[in-house]
Structure 1
Amino acid sequence: MEIKPCVNIRQEIDIVGARQLGRQYAKELGFSTVDQARIATAISELTRNIYLYADAGKISFEVIDQINRKGLKIIATDNGPGIPDISQVMQDGYSTSGGLGAGLPGVKRLMDQFDIQSNGDGTRIDTIKWVR
């Protein structure tokens, strides 16, 4: 695994930076333009959640280069209050910000692997998209 630079999320403009960097990595890895857009959308959702609910956090990228496949791992971490009920936020239509409620369930659908861990010390979400 090759660890790439991370993007600290502290203000709204950082969302754009993380999205652009993730799309660049996806393009370099050979993802289709459709999958590049899926990855960028997932990054937007993850970073917006950090910005809205945790004040600060980061998005990290890892390139996974295995014998039979390549992928991009995106890790969203924050030191916010955590998610009290993960099963609730993973329901389609659930929103605490008045948005569409597509957030985390949408990220899970856009990516190939999705894992969320959260407690009172913050949240960590790991997602992977594999090159087809």
Structure 2
Amino acid sequence: MTLSGDTLTPQQAPRQPLAIAEGTATFAVRTEEDLLATRHAVRAATLAAGFGIIDQTRVVTAASELARNAYIHGGGGALTIEHLAQTRGRGLRLTIRDEGPGIPDLAQALTDGFTTGAGLGHGLGGARRLMDEFEVRTAPGAGTTVAITRWATP
């Protein structure tokens, strides 16, 4: 969106990554606006990786759920998008980190319908089902890190 003079207000300007390295970018997940920015960044990454529309939707949905969890339950955090190229093909690895209270009972948190908030309780387990690889590292008082990977289908 442009305004007169082709300039954007700070609120309209695209959010910039916190850090960029070859094949990776890290974005803050601290505000509602950051949640939208991470969705857009993940969508752009799926396009760059050559994902079809169904896999784009899977990855964006999983990322959105996990980023929202980090924002709501973890007090904010960061999302790192990593482009993968291996003999297996192209893919994306997303790592969402927060410094919140951690997940006291991971098995229970992965159970559909379990929620500590106002949601439906499908976020963590749903993200696991949407991705090819799923890993959670968490400890009470030490925050949570979720790494998810999806490989592009040829």
TM-score (norm 2): 0.82
The aligned residue for residue 131 of structure 2 is 111
The aligned residue for residue 118 of structure 2 is 98
Following TM superposition, by how much is the alpha carbon of 1:110 offset from its aligned partner in structure 2, in angstroms?
Answer: 0.6
Query: What SS is found at the alignment partner of 1:30?
Result: coil
The CA distance in 2 between the partners of 1:62 and 1:15, in whole Å, is 18
* 2:81 is the counterpart of 1:64: no
The aligned residue for residue 84 of structure 1 is 104
Could you list the structure 1 runs, at least 4 aligned residues long, displaced by more than 2 angstroms after superposition.
none
Q: 1:48 aligns with which of 46, 62, 68?
A: 68
The aligned residue for residue 122 of structure 1 is 143
Q: Percent identity, please.
A: 38
Instruction: Between the two structures, name the one with larger relative contact order (CA 8 Å, sep ≥ 6).
Output: 1
> What does residue range 9-20 of structure 1 map to in structure 2 within 5 Å?
9-20=29-40
Q: What per-residue deviation string (whole Å, max 9, x for no partner) do you get for residues 7-27 of structure 1?
A: 101111111101110110101
TM-score (norm 1): 0.95
Following TM superposition, by how much is the alpha carbon of 1:118 offset from its aligned partner in structure 2, in angstroms?
Answer: 0.3
The CA distance in 1 between the partners of 2:88 and 2:116, in whole Å, is 41
**Larger helix proportion, structure 1 or 2?**
1
Unaligned runs of 5+ in 2: 1-21
Aligned residue-pair number: 132
